[in-house]
Amino acid sequence: MDPDYLKGLEDKPINALREIRQEYCSLEVTISYLRRLAQGYLDILAFYIERRENGEPVDTSTLVTTLVRLLADRSRRSEQPARLSALLAPNLVDLTTDISDVDSVIGGYDIEELHSMDLEELYALRSRLQRAERGLSTDRRVLHQRIDLLDAELVKRYRSGEATVEELIG
């Protein structure tokens, strides 16, 4: 994520550009996965908070019966444009190191423990998760900008004839 990592982009060999782009795409998939994970936790927390604020009980069976609807509801999602990634699953090596950010916010809480938390604790957990999700979203936007820069440089090289599709395939 170092801003200097793309310095001198136009002087880098085409294979280096492709490798850097692949690194960024792999990292983007991991960050997107973590972001979706944080959003899922936020959806579950919103359910708990809403029920508690309305004085309604929350138990595991109520949560399980509503879980599909909770996680499928896109109305609370950001309007950030979606991108279809060439990689559909995060790199598990990256994930074991990066998932600690979301896990540290969750604090090792099991969903069962949410039942015993009071509203103030739920609000505090939601706030920490929202900050983590915003940080992941910011990182993801930066990665998209950098991938766009790399794509533009690659397209420029193909158009100028400096690189050819045959080289890529062969």
pLDDT of residue 36: 86
Secondary element (H or E) of residue 80 = none
Q: What is the pLDDT of residue 120?
A: 94
Q: If DSSP states are collapsed to H, E and C, what string results for 20-79?
A: HHHHHHHHHHHHHHHHHHHHHHHHHHHHHHHHHHCCCCCCHHHHHHHHHHHHHCCCCCCC
pLDDT along the chain (170 residues), means of 10: 85 91 89 86 90 85 79 57 53 54 62 84 91 90 94 90 69
pLDDT at 84: 47
| Ramachandran sector of residue 108 (left: φ over 0; alpha: ψ -120 to 50; beta: rest) | left
Q: What is the pLDDT of residue 63?
A: 79
The predicted pLDDT at position 104 comes to 65
Q: Find the radius of gyration of the CA atoms of the chain.
A: 21
Q: How far apart are CA 31 and CA 33, in angstroms?
A: 5
Single pTM value for the model = 0.75
Per-residue tokens: 35: 């972001």
Given phi > 0 = left and psi -120 to 50 = alpha, else beta, which region is 8?
Answer: left
User: For residue 33, what pLDDT is reported?
Assistant: 84
